[in-house]
């Protein structure tokens, strides 16, 4: 089972963008939670959730001091019984500075750095990372990011960004994406009923 789910979720994490097959699954982002170290960065983000459950994510970060090292770690947790999540996969830490060099290293990091799935973006491109302002605008998160169409689950993607202090990694951004994959026909029926109730409420 792990051998099947592993590539599925790697794809979800942007390993393969804009798959052209007609999906039979709906990707629904419920919320994104972020904690950050205010002594290292200043962070702001906006999650725009549309009535059709399409999601646009924008964020900006200001590095308040120079980063000589930069690491990326992510994990995936699947919802089990009684609403509890269990870690399914964990990867990292990946040295982002190494990925900057000729865009080698972690495939997911390379894909994010190369992605054109933003209306606008400004990423660091080399290390050390000098103090400054970086951003992404209107990153669209939907089922086109998937390369499969027959899997349902509730899950959390956790992303940690950190720097090295001595031999220890110090996190400065912790991001959690709460999402669900739902059968498309089931979602269309539920969404139609939801919109009908909303329209009825507005008419009253």
Q: What is the CATH number of the domain that holds 149?
A: 2.70.220
What secondary structure does DSSP assign to 141-177, as a single string? ESGGG-S-SS--EEEEEEEEEEEEETTEEEEEEEEEE
In whole angstroms, give the CA distance from residue 122 to residue 102: 18
**Does residue 132 surpass a pLDDT of 50?**
yes
In whole angstroms, give the CA distance from residue 18 to residue 109: 17
Indicate the number of domains in the chain.
1
In whole angstroms, give the CA distance from residue 188 to residue 52: 9
Per-residue pLDDT tens digits for 10-22? 444 444 434 444 4
More confident residue, 130 or 144: 130
Do 67 and 128 touch, CB atoms closer than 8 A? yes
Summarize the confidence of residues 114-135 as an average pLDDT: 82
Domain containing 48 equals 2-203
Q: pTM (2 decimals)? A: 0.78
């Amino acid at each position: 089972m792990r051998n099947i789910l592993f590539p599925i979720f790697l794809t979800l994490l942007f390993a393969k963008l804009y798959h052209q097959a007609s999906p039979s699954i709906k990707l629904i982002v419920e919320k994104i939670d972020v904690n950050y170290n205010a002594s290292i960065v200043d962070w702001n983000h906006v999650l725009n959730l549309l009535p059709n459950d399409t999601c646009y994510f924008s964020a900006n970060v200001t590095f308040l001091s120079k980063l000589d090292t930069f690491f990326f770690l992510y994990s995936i947790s699947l919802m089990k019984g009684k609403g509890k999540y269990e870690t399914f996969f964990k990867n990292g830490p990946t040295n982002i500075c190494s990925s900057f060099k000729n865009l080698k290293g972690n495939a997911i990091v390379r894909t994010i750095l190369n992605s054109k799935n933003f209306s606008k973006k400004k990423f660091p491109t080399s290390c050390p990372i000098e103090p400054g302002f970086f951003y992404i605008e209107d990153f669209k998160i939907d089922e086109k990011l998937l390369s499969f169409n027959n899997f349902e689950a509730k899950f959390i993607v956790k992303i940690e960004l950190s720097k090295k202090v001595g031999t220890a990694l110090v996190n400065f951004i912790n991001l959690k994406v709460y999402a669900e994959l739902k059968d498309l026909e089931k979602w269309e029926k539920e969404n139609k009923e939801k919109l009908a109730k909303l329209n009825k409420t507005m008419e009253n």
